[in-house]
Amino acid sequence: MELSGVIMNFSILSFRFARTASLFQCKVPKYFCTCSTLRKEVPKNLKGKSKSSQEWLIRQMKDPYVEKARMSNYRCRSAFKLLEMNDKYNFLAAGQCVVDCGAAPGSWTQISVEKTNSLGSRRNEAIGRVIGIDCLSIYPIEGAILLNNMDFTSKEAQEKLLGHLQGQKVDVVLSDMAPNATGLKFMDHEKIIYLAYNVLRFSVQVSVVEGTMLVKIWDGQEADVLRKDIKRYYNNVKIVKPNASRSDSSEKYILARDFKGLGT
């Protein structure tokens, strides 16, 4: 399949999401990231805080992954989702080129730097490359190129990414991107599916044959259509729910391996 054909397909696939496209603009820094703090202090005064803030603080305190992340120097508990999925499916390796979409605060990028050896700290192994992008700012991570304050879906971000890649093919595209949740399930679902289609379009353009894409979604009615669309480009597609992903969350990951390539 040629690239122009693929882009056309994606235009059709994305059409249904276009009507709400204006909602998908990444306005920051409204995003309330559950990873924003790893402190385990007992909140001194919950009074005056909204019910949801109180619940969030209490949940953080009880969460074993929050403590584990702090002990392991990861910037956020999401680290354990990626570690768990990689332990099982082993898609990250030294020497690879990885693009991490929705990288802030940076734990997936930290793991990608370790696994790909992008710092060159393991002398007898190949040296990889890691590029992280987020619409928020990310504190520097040694061994990674970080594109801050950039909406992944924007033309500018796509051009910047391609500019950094300079024709190099990508082994693994990761996306833990999550839009600002409105609380309206169907709308939040559409927003994340829109992001996922953008990740798929990017992955198809830049991936090596046999490459991997890992993308987060919130479950809902479009999930199956997305999975089927991904199957057109990847031979091996799985839905994964790591233990570190809260059981009361509709969060899931689509792990797509063995990219078929676009042929000639």
Ligand X SMILES: C[S@@+](CC[C@H](N)C(=O)[O-])C[C@H]1O[C@@H](n2cnc3c(N)ncnc32)[C@H](O)[C@@H]1O
Measure CA 166 to chain center.
22
Tell me the window of 40-48, 105-113, 116-124, 241-249 that interacts with ligand X (CB under 6 A).
Answer: 105-113
Question: Could you tell me how many residues of this chain bind ligand X (CB under 6 A)?
Answer: 27
Residues 133 and 131: their CA atoms lie apart, in Å, by 7
| SS3 of residue 106 by DSSP | coil
End-to-end CA distance of the chain: 7
- Told to check if 179 binds ligand X by CB under 6 A, we report yes
Nearer to ligand X, 136 or 237 (CB): 136
List 69, 178, 217, 256, residue binding ligand X (CB under 6 A): 178
Q: Counting contacts by CB under 6 A, is residue 242 touching ligand X?
A: no
- Residue 35 near ligand X by CB under 6 A: yes
- In the complex, the smallest distance separating the C-beta of residue 94 from ligand X, rounded to whole angstroms, is 20
If binding is defined by CB under 6 A, does position 136 make contact with ligand X?
yes
Q: Locate tokens 């042929």: which residue?
A: 263
Report the nearest approach of ligand X to the CB of residue 15 (Å). Answer: 19
| Shortest spacing between CB 10 and ligand X, in angstroms | 16
- Enumerate residues 6+ apart whose C-beta is below 8 A from 182: 188, 191
| Catalytic entry in 115, 191, 216, 252 | 216
Helices (H) and strands (E) in the chain, counts: 8, 7
Question: Is 105 a residue that touches ligand X (CB under 6 A)?
Answer: yes
Q: Is 78 near ligand X (CB under 6 A)?
A: yes
User: How many Cα atoms sit within 13 Å of 185 on the Cβ side?
Assistant: 7
Looking only at Cα atoms, what is the longest distance across the chain? 63
Q: How far is the CB of 263 from ligand X (least distance, A)?
A: 30
Interaction of residue 46 with ligand X, rule CB under 6 A = no
> Rounded distance, CA 198 to CA 177, Å?
11
**Contact criterion met (CB below 8 Å) for 252 and 217:** yes
Tokens of 252: 């899931």
115 is catalytic: no
Query: What secondary structure does DSSP assign to 121-150, as a single string?
Result: -STTS---EEEEE-SS-----TTEEEE-S-
Chain residue at closest Cβ approach to ligand X: 102
Among 38, 66, 135, 217, binds ligand X (CB under 6 A): 135
Min separation Cβ 85 and ligand X, Å: 12
**102 interacts with ligand X by CB under 6 A:** yes
State which of residues 108, 233, 253, 259 lies at the interface with ligand X (CB under 6 A): 108
Q: Which residues are catalytic?
A: 216
